[in-house]
Amino acid sequence: MTNSNDSFLDEDSFFTEIMSSQSNVEDQVVLLKISFCKKSLSGARCLYHELMNCIEDTIKNKQDYNPEDVKNNLVILVGLLKCWDLCVEHIKLLEKVSIIDIKSFPDNLFDVMLNAMTHCKNSAENYGENWKIISDNLTTIFRQCVGTITTFCSLIDSVITFDANEEDQINILLKVIDETGRLAAMSSGMDNKSLTELWKRFGKLASTYNLEIKRTASDTVTSHFKSLCYNIVTILSTISQNNNQNMNERHVVCSRLLFKILEKLSETYCGWIRNDVMLNVVFMLTHLQKYTEEYLKITKCSKELIKFIVTNFSYQIDPFIDIIIRNDSFRLALFNYVDPEVEDSLGYHLLILVLMKKISKLPWESQIEWHKKDQSLLNVCLENLDKIAKDICVGKINVQMSRDVTHSSYMANIYEATCLNTFALACQFPNEDFPELIVMLLKYLLSGKYFSSLLSSDIWCFVCRLSSTDMCYKHFQYLVQIYEKLKQRKNDFNVKILGNLLSRQYNFLSEKQRNEFINGIEKDIDPHQWHPLVRNFNEEKVQQFQQQIDASAINARIYLDLKKLEDQPRLENFHNLIKDLHVIEACQIYQDEKSAEVFVQMWNKIVYVLGDCEGTLSKVVEDLAVALLRATNLQKPSPPKYVRTVLESMASLYPYASNRLHLEFCHFLNKIASNLDESDANIVSELYARLLCHQEPCIRQESYESFENLTQANENSNLLSTLATNIRNISPEVAKSLPEFLSSKVIDQSCSFNAIDKFYEALCESMKKWRHICYKRDQIDQKEKLQKLNDDEERKEEIEVLDKNIEELVDGVCTDMEFIIKSYSQVKKNHCEKLRLICQKYLEQSN
C-alpha cells in the first residue's frame, strides 16, 4: 500500500506545482476550489478511510497481529493527514477567500479529523497490551489533528470570510462551530493543552459571530455548554487524585481557562440557554462549591495547593453566578435539579446559600420571581436541609458571612449561615404575600424532618421578633389551635417541635397577652394544650396558673382518681388519672407523704400486672408507668423509703419493659441523682449495669450520660465508689468502658463506628424513623371516596322523601280514624276486630 500511493502523498510538490502555475490570487482560489478541495482532498478522504478501516480490522480481528505493521500504517496515516494541514497552510497564504469557494473543505476536514481523534481516544482499549508500542504514533496523529483544526479556525474572519446575509454561508459557519465543539469535547481526558486550545477556538468563533448565530440557531453554541461544564468538573476532580503539585496546578490553570470561556459565552448568550443545558450549569456550580477556601480546608489538599486554587480559580465562581442568575432558565433548572449520578446535596445547599445572599440584596420586584408557590428558594432550602444532616452535625464545613455595618466577615457553620440567609429573605415579604410564607413554614414545621422543622421554627421566631406583639399573639393563638388538634399525636416529633415553638413565642408576648392566655385556660382542659408553656412561666405566673387550674388539690385528686379506676376500670377513668399526673409533672408539684403512698400503690399494681400483659394492654400499663416516673418530683428530705420503692419497682419491671420505658428509666435516674444515698447503691448499680450494656445504642448513650450526671450531681463519694465496685462485679465489660466515657473518649465500638462521620450518618438515618407519614390517597381512593359520598347523598335524599311520604300517610290515617270514631255506631263487629288487631300490633312494635 505504501508504494502504490507515494506519488499521491508528495503533497509539497503537488501544491508547489499547482500554485506556482497561477500568477494571481483569484486564479489560485479557483484552482484550490476546483482541483484540490473537490478532487484531491476527496480522494485523500477515501484513502484515509480505507487505511483506517484496514488498521481497525487488523486490531479487532487478529489477536496475534504484528504491532510493527500497524505502526507502519500509522506512519502512512500521518503523512496522509498532512494533505489537510498543507491545504490549510496554503489557504493561509491567500489574502481573502469566501467560505463558499471552499465549502466542501470543512466537511472533508472535520470528517477525517473527528474519525482520527476518536481512534486516538479509544486506542488504549482497542490496542490493549500493544498500546505502549504504538502510543507515540497516536500522539503524533492527535496533535497533528488539533494543530490543523486550530489553524483552520484561526483563518476564519482573517482570511476566510462570511456573508451574514447569505443563508448557505451562515450554515457552513454553524457547521464549523458545531464540529469544533464536538472535537473539543472529545479531547477531554487526552491532553489539557489541546483541550484548552480547541475550546478557545470554539469560544472565539461563537463570540465573533454571536449576532448571526443568535438570529439563526443559538443552540449550535449553547448545546456545547454541557460538554464544557462536564470538562471543567472532570479536570477539577482529578486534583484530589494527584499528589503531584505541578500536575495539579496545571489542571487548575486549565480549568480556569475553560471556565473563563464559559463565563464569556454565558454572558454573550444569556437568554438563549435552554433549560436542559442549564441543568448542566447547575451541576457544575454545585460541584464547584467544593473548591472554595472553606471547603478545601477540610480536604487532604496541601496549604500550597489550596492557596493556588483560591487565587487562580475560586475567585471566578461568584462573578459567573452574577451573570448566569440573570437567565430565567437558570431559575427553572435550579428548582428542578436532581443529579442523576450522585446527589450532591451539600454542594447544592452551599449554592442555594450563595444565591439567597445575592437575591436578598435585590429589590422585592426582582425577588418575587424567586418566591413563587411552585418555585421558591426558601422552599428548596428547607426541603434540602435534612439531606445534609450529617454535615451539619459533624460541623467541619463553615460558610463565610459578612457583617453589613463593618463590612468585615466571619465564619459561620452551615446551619447558622442557613438561618441568617433565610431570615434576610423572610423579613422582606410584604403583607399581601406573608400568608404564603406562613403556610410554607407550617408545612415544614410539621414535616417530621428534624432540621427543616427546626429552621422553620427559627424563622417563625425571627418573624415574631420583628413583628408587633399583636401580630405575634395572633400567630401564637393560631399555632395553639393547631397544637390542640394534634393532641392524639402528642408524642410525635413534629408535635414536640410545635410545642417548642409555642414556648419560644410565649416570650415575645406582652404582659397583658400572657395574663389573657393564662386566664383563658379552663380548669379541666387537657394538660397537653398548655404543657410546653409552663417552663417559661416565672414564679408569679406559676402561682397564677396553679390557681387557675386548682393545682393545690391535685395530690388529693390523684387518690380519688386511683380509687375510681379500681372501682370502675374504664378508659375514661384511666385518662383522668393520667391527666392529673401530667399536671403534677408540668407544674412540678412535690409529693407529700400521703401522695407518695398513692404512688407506691400504683407502682405495686404495675409490677404485679405488667408481666402478664400483651399488646395494647401492655402499652396502656407502660403509659401509666411513664406518667408516674415523669410526675415524681422529690423534695429534700423525700418521704421515707419512697425512692427505694420506685427503684425496686423499676428493677422488677426491667425484664418486661419496652425500650421506651428503659429510656424513661435513664431519664428518671438522671432526675433523682442528687437524692440518692448509700442505701440505694445496690439497686441503682443493678439498673445501671443493665442499661449500660443495652442492645439499643441510643439507650446505652443515654445511660452513660445519666451516670456521668450522677458523678457530678451527687457529692457522696461512698455512694459513687460503691456503685463503681458493684458495676465492675456485675458487668466487667461496662466497667472498662465507663471510665473511658467519663474521660471524654469514644467508647461505643460495638456499632463499628470507626469515624465520627459514620456515627452521625447512622444517627441521621435513624431520624427518619421518627417521622409521622400521613396516608396519601391515590386517584382510585379519591374516586371511591367520592362515589361513596355520592351514594350517601342519594340515600339521604331517599330517606328524606320516604320520611315525607310517611308523614303524609300518618296524617291521612289520623284523619280517617277520627272520622271512624265519630261514626263508631255504624262500624260492623268484624271491622272493629280488624282495627283492634292493627292498633295492637302498632303498640307492640312501638314499645
pLDDT-derived band at 795, boundaries 50, 70, 90:
low
DSSP state of 39: I
Q: Are 427 and 467 in contact (CB under 8 A)?
A: no
HEC-encoded secondary structure of 127-165: HHHHHHHHHHHHHHHHHHHHHHHHHHHHHECCCEECCCC
Out of 320-324, 503-507, 531-535, 801-805, give the one with best mean pLDDT: 320-324
pLDDT at residue number 19: 43
Residue 35 has pLDDT above 80, yes or no: no
> C-alpha angle 340/343/346, rounded to 5°?
150
Per-residue pLDDT tens digits for 134-145: 889 999 999 999
Kindly state the average pLDDT of the residues 53-71: 82
Out of 176-185, 570-579, 807-816, give the one with best mean pLDDT: 176-185
Label the pairing between strands 160-161 and 97-98.
Answer: parallel
- Of the listed ranges 60-64, 236-240, 631-635, 673-677, the one predicted with least confidence: 60-64
pLDDT at residue number 339: 57
Residue type, 19: M
Residue 835 has pLDDT above 70, yes or no: yes
Q: CB pairs under 8 A, 24+ apart, for 585-588?
A: 585/627, 585/630, 585/631, 585/633, 586/527, 586/530, 586/531, 586/534, 587/534, 587/542, 587/545, 587/546, 587/551, 587/554, 588/633
pLDDT at residue number 211: 92
Tell me the C-alpha distance between 832 and 845, whole Å.
20
Kindly state the average pLDDT of the residues 232-250: 85
Q: Where are the domains of the chain?
A: 1-161, 550-652, 793-846
Higher pLDDT, 376 or 64: 376
Q: Are 820 and 838 in contact (CB under 8 A)?
A: no
Kindly state the average pLDDT of the residues 687-710: 88
For the chain, the average pLDDT equals: 83
Residue 424 has pLDDT above 90, yes or no: yes
pLDDT at residue number 6: 42
Q: Are 266 and 324 in contact (CB under 8 A)?
A: yes
For the chain, percent of residues with pLDDT exceeding 70: 85
Tell me the C-alpha distance between 254 and 257, whole Å.
5
- Of the listed ranges 128-137, 276-285, 311-320, 328-337, the one predicted with least confidence: 128-137
Q: Are 212 and 156 in contact (CB under 8 A)?
A: no
Please, what is the end-to-end C-alpha distance for the chain in angstroms?
Answer: 118
Cell numbers placing 51: 487505511
Burial of residue 175 (number of CB atoms within 10 Å: 0-12, 13-18, 19+): middle
β partners of residue 97: 160
Helix (H) / strand (E) containing 805: helix 779-822
Residue 536, C-beta contacts closer than 8 angstroms, at least 6 positions apart: 503, 506, 507
Residue 570 has pLDDT above 90, yes or no: no
Label the pairing between strands 97-98 and 409-413.
Answer: unpaired
Residue 637 has pLDDT above 70, yes or no: no
Kindly state the average pLDDT of the residues 417-439: 92
pLDDT at residue number 21: 43
Annotate 278-347 with DSSP letters as a single string: HHHHHHHHHHHGGGSHHHHTTSS--HHHHHHHHHHTGGGHHHHHHHHTTSHHHHHHHHT---SS---HHH
pLDDT-derived band at 231, boundaries 50, 70, 90:
very high
pLDDT-derived band at 274, boundaries 50, 70, 90:
very high
CA 633 to each of CA 603, 627, 629, 639, 675: distance values in angstroms, whole numbers, following the listed order? 15, 12, 9, 11, 11
Could you identify the residue written with the cell 444569556?
A: 270
- Of the listed ranges 271-280, 441-450, 566-575, 829-838, the one predicted with least confidence: 829-838
Cell numbers placing 331: 431559575
Kindly state the average pLDDT of the residues 111-115: 93
The gap from C-alpha 46 to its chain's centroid, in whole angstroms, comes to 55
pLDDT at residue number 552: 75
pLDDT at residue number 25: 43
DSSP state of 370: G
Kindly state the average pLDDT of the residues 219-241: 91
Q: Are 762 and 751 in contact (CB under 8 A)?
A: yes
Per-residue pLDDT tens digits for 178-215: 999 999 999 988 889 999 999 999 999 999 999 999 99
Helix (H), strand (E) counts: the chain? 43, 4
Tell me the C-alpha distance between 667 and 663, whole Å.
7
Kindly state the average pLDDT of the residues 82-104: 82
b (16+ CB within 10 A) / e for 762-788: ebbeeeeeeeeeeeeeeeeeeeeeeee
pLDDT at residue number 258: 96
Instruction: Tally Cβ neighbours within 10 Å of residue 635.
Output: 10
Q: Where are the alpha helices (DSSP H) in 571-641?
A: 571-587, 593-610, 615-631
Higher pLDDT, 180 or 592: 180
pLDDT at residue number 529: 79
Cell numbers placing 121: 481516544
- Of the listed ranges 233-247, 619-633, 806-820, the one predicted with least confidence: 806-820
- Of the listed ranges 70-79, 675-684, 696-705, 732-741, the one predicted with least confidence: 732-741
Q: Are 620 and 574 in contact (CB under 8 A)?
A: yes
Per-residue pLDDT tens digits for 359-395: 999 999 999 999 987 789 999 999 999 999 888 988 8
- Of the listed ranges 493-502, 555-564, 788-797, 821-830, the one predicted with least confidence: 788-797
Helix (H) / strand (E) containing 398: strand 398-402
> C-alpha angle 275/276/282, rounded to 5°?
80
Residue 775 has pLDDT above 60, yes or no: no
Q: Are 680 and 717 in contact (CB under 8 A)?
A: no
β partners of residue 444: none
Per-residue pLDDT tens digits for 528-567: 778 888 888 888 888 888 888 877 788 888 888 888 988 8
Cell numbers placing 565: 379506676
CA nearest 651: which of 674, 682, 613? 682
β partners of residue 813: none
CA nearest 148: which of 84, 222, 233, 243? 84
Tell me the C-alpha distance between 465 and 459, whole Å.
10
Higher pLDDT, 170 or 95: 170
Q: Are 254 and 308 in contact (CB under 8 A)?
A: no
β partners of residue 410: 401
pLDDT at residue number 329: 92
Residue 412 has pLDDT above 80, yes or no: yes
pLDDT-derived band at 36, boundaries 50, 70, 90:
low
Higher pLDDT, 89 or 481: 481
Q: Are 694 and 703 in contact (CB under 8 A)?
A: yes
Cα torsion 133, 135, 136, 138: sign? positive
Kindly state the average pLDDT of the residues 89-109: 83
